[in-house]
Structures are given as C-alpha cells and as structure tokens.
Amino acid sequence: MLFFDECLESDASILKDIALRAFEEDRIKYGAIPPNIDTLEWHISKVRDGMYYKIIRDDKIIGAFKLYEIDKEHFRLGAIFIDPEYHNEGVGSEALEFIEKEYSNIKKWSLDTPYKNFRNQYFYEKHGYVKIGEYKPLENNSMILFEYNKEKKKDIEKVVRKYFKSWIDRDECVLREVFAEEAIYIESYGPVYNGLKEIQKWFRDWNKRGKVIAWDIKNIVVTENTVICEWYFKNEFDGKVDDFNGVSWINFDKFNKIIQLKEFAATIPNYLPYRNKEVYNE
C-alpha cells in the first residue's frame, strides 16, 4: 500500500539519490536531466516551496513529485520520479489518483515529458492527458519535450440525468437546482420558454394533464460546457400514450447550470418509404 506525505528537508538526500536513478535513462538518452535535480539544494528549495510530496511504501521513500500553482484552477505537475526498482507496479497511477483527489478543485493540469519517452507518453495519455505542443528546454541540447494538458470536465452529465429523472418523479424542486434563472428552453415542435419561471410553469401545467412514463438516455457526449444526448421518451397526455426518439443539445454556464436547452425529435416507428414501391411515400 502506498502513502503520500509532504517532503521534509531531512528527506533531501534520499530524494536526490532516487531522482538520479530515475532520470539515469534520460541522461544516457538525451545527455540531460531536469536542471539541478541532482543537487541537495534543489530538493531543499522544493520542500520550502511546498506541495513537494514523497511516495512511501513499507515505510520507505520510493519516489516523489512536485506541484506548481499556475493559477487558482490550473496546477502543473513538475518533476515526478519513481525509483526504477518500482516501475511497472502501478505507483505512477496511484500517485496521479492521489493528486487529482487531493486537489479535486483544480480544473486544469499540465506537464511535460521527453519526446522519446514513449512509456511516459502512453501512461499520461491513458490517464486523460492530451499533447498540445512541444519545445526545446535547452539551447545547447537537441532534447525536445512534449507538453501535455488535462482539463477536468465539469460534472454536467449528472445534471442532465437529474433533470430527466425529475419528470419521472414529477419533482419541480429539481428545476431550480439545474436551470439558470435566465435559461432558455426550446421544445422540438416550437414552444420556447424564457427563464426559470416559465420553465417551472410549463412543468406544472404539463404534469396536471400528463405523466412521463420513460425518458431514457441512449447515448451521451460531454464536452467542457455542453452535453449532447440521444434519448427515448414515452408519455401519457390527456389519456393518449405516445413515444418518440430525440436529441437534446444542452449548454451550461460556469456554475454548471443549464443556460440553454434545445430538443429535436424523431417519430417512431421508422418505416422504409421505398419498400415494394417505386414512388417515394406513395
């Protein structure tokens, strides 16, 4: 089992030795390692800066990583190194999980890794990092670093699922939780509701005459501020049961509330207009 704790100045010598072993492959391959990481002063200065963590297994330090604050929502993962003796044992994955859990409020992470270090590139990409560029850190060295970013998607899929469920449950209270005051809602057949109050009134009026039997999400795509979902909808309205397929395009504000929702519907069942016919839809 791994533990993570902030480094102490008394750890500096151990950290330096582990870093030298961890970056030996880079030294051989590129003729360079992270500047000054081979000195005690570097490690002591990082301890004093803060957010310098050691990785511990069986009461033994086996690696470390340094975090840097770019701004309140953007952190950089600086030097991360693990003793080669513990490579391929999931240590790096556990370290990333700890970092993202410990700093769950951070929306964006960045880091770099050498261009020939395919193992690292695969590792970071597996954990959601995307290459955004490359650069040469040293003028007198041919080494190139690949720059990676990972941006945390807002937890907006849950908002959509909660909204759909509110129709099944007839729970009007959910509307205030999921919609912005100035939200615009456009139904597939034309009606537009401007603002939360109109959406609430429509919800109440509709549920006096009908009930939603099913609203099932079939496919969903989530980006930074948008959810696009394909769904199946079944309802009873004024005693008549109807169902259809549809798509919702949903935009969110910075507070994770729906600011605009557009619906598009397709009737079911589908049919084949040219089956046993020579003229379209005859």
Q: Write out the residue range of the structural domain in which residue 237 sits.
A: 157-267
Instruction: Say yes or no: 142 and 184 in one domain.
Output: no
Provide the token pair at 265: 């519907």
Residues 191 and 65 in one domain: no
Question: Residue 278's pLDDT is what?
Answer: 64
Residues 178 and 41 in one domain: no
Q: Is residue 9 part of a domain?
A: yes
Question: Kind and range of the H or E element at 78?
Answer: strand 74-82
Contact 33, 15 (CB under 8 A): no
Count of domains forming the chain: 2
Tokens 């051989």 found at = 28
Domain boundary among 151, 184, 218: 151
In a domain, 183, yes or no: yes
17, 130: one domain: yes
- Residue of 181, 148, 172, 186 whose CA lies nearest to 263: 186
Asked if 202 and 128 sit in the same domain, the reply is no
Tokens at 25, concatenated: 């492959």
Residue 280 lies in a domain: no
- Block mean pLDDT (10 aa), the chain, length 282: 96 98 91 91 97 97 97 92 94 94 91 91 89 86 89 82 97 96 96 98 98 96 90 96 96 90 91 71 56
- Residues 122, 192, single domain; the answer is no
Same domain (yes/no): 260, 234: yes
Last residue of a domain, one of 135, 151, 167: 151
Cβ proximity of 85 and 57 under 8 Å: no
For every residue of 236-255, which 3-state class applies, written as one string?
Answer: EECCEEEEEEEEEEEEECCC
CATH code for position 76: 3.40.630.30
Residues 136 and 179 placed together within one structural domain of the fold? no
- Cα separation, 259 vs 162, whole angstroms: 16
Q: Give the pLDDT confidence score for residue 91 in this predicted structure.
A: 96
Question: CB-side exposure of 192: number of CA atoms within 13 Å?
Answer: 5
CATH code of residue 190:
3.10.450.50
Q: In this structure, are 112 and 174 located in the same domain?
A: no
Listed residues 94, 118, 151: the one ending a domain: 151
pTM for the full predicted model: 0.58
Phi-psi region of 94 (alpha: psi -120 to 50; beta: other; left: phi over 0): alpha
Residues 176 and 206 in one domain: yes
CA 70-24-42 angle, 5° bins: 45
* Per-residue pLDDT, 136: 87
H-type helices in 65-223, by residue range? 91-102, 118-126, 157-169, 173-178, 196-209
Compute CA 143 distance to the chain's CA centroid, rounded to the nearest angstrom.
30
Do both 44 and 138 map to the same domain? yes
